[in-house]
Chains A and B, each alone.
Chain A
């Protein structure tokens, strides 16, 4: 088992494998996105309370889910990299951060765009929006730390450490922001929760969530390949690769 992991996680093997996977991942993402968008924008009925504005949830909710999911994935990959010293895991952790930050930003912007017609203000200190903003700061911290440390091997281990410490903190931050929010403002309208949701509304949401997950893998593989090339530029496999591409 460990042998298999080490083989798959070896940079040249992963580089080749991910090259084969990327077109498929892209195709599946696009198909799912088209299906989800059709379901969400056209097939799903109008909401009786929020009118058409609720259609923002098909981006907002999956993006918010992804922002947390990617942070967990980043911390897990970082832990694997720290414990077993697998280079690929370190690279995965580092490359996850900008994608996660993108989703966090997306969740914030769409939350704000949904909030303007619903609450009458671009920004409300709602518990989830505030927690999402803090999550964005955590991502930015991880990214800036990686950029700031010149030795990339050391930098990725530092980033893994920071992501792990952040992982312990995310539930605490979430809980305290919730506490702060309920005491200061009284419970606001719970954003997108409904007691019973129409199947035609729910299904596109789930499709979009799956689409975003596969999109993450796609974007991640693309980034990991660049990072691997840069880090391994003096190794034999990269040189062979360059020769091959020159002949072709």
Chain B
């Protein structure tokens, strides 16, 4: 197991590559999900306000 993380001395390079990959890939999923939620909230509030004014 230790050997697996050691990667024949290249552990730092290999694992930072995979870490950066994980970071970028996850960010591109989480961000739009979060944006959609806040967008839905914003639009719902706008709609409620518009209906109250009627």
Contacts and interface: CB of A to CB of B under 8 A. Distances in A.
CB atoms of A and B under 8 A apart anywhere in the complex? yes
Interface of A: 26, 41-42, 46, 51-53, 55-56, 59-60, 63, 98-99, 102-103, 105-106, 109-110, 113-114, 116-117, 215, 218-219, 222-223, 225-226, 229-230, 233, 238-239, 242-243, 245-246
B43 to A, nearest CB: 6
B40 to A, nearest CB: 6
Interface SS majority for chain B: helix
Interface size class of B (residues with CB under 8 A): 20 to 34
A59 B18 CA distance: 7
A233 B16 CA distance: 41
Contacts of A52: 7-11, 14
Contacts of A223: 32
Given A53-B10, A215-B25, A229-B43, A113 B32 contact: no
Nearest to A239: B47
A117 B10 contact: yes
A222 B17 contact: no
B14 to A, nearest CB: 5
A15 B53 CA distance: 29
A116 B13 contact: yes
Contact of A106 (B9, B24, B43, B44): B24
B10 A59 contact: no
Given A46-B8, A229-B39, A113 B17 contact: yes
B7 A242 contact: no
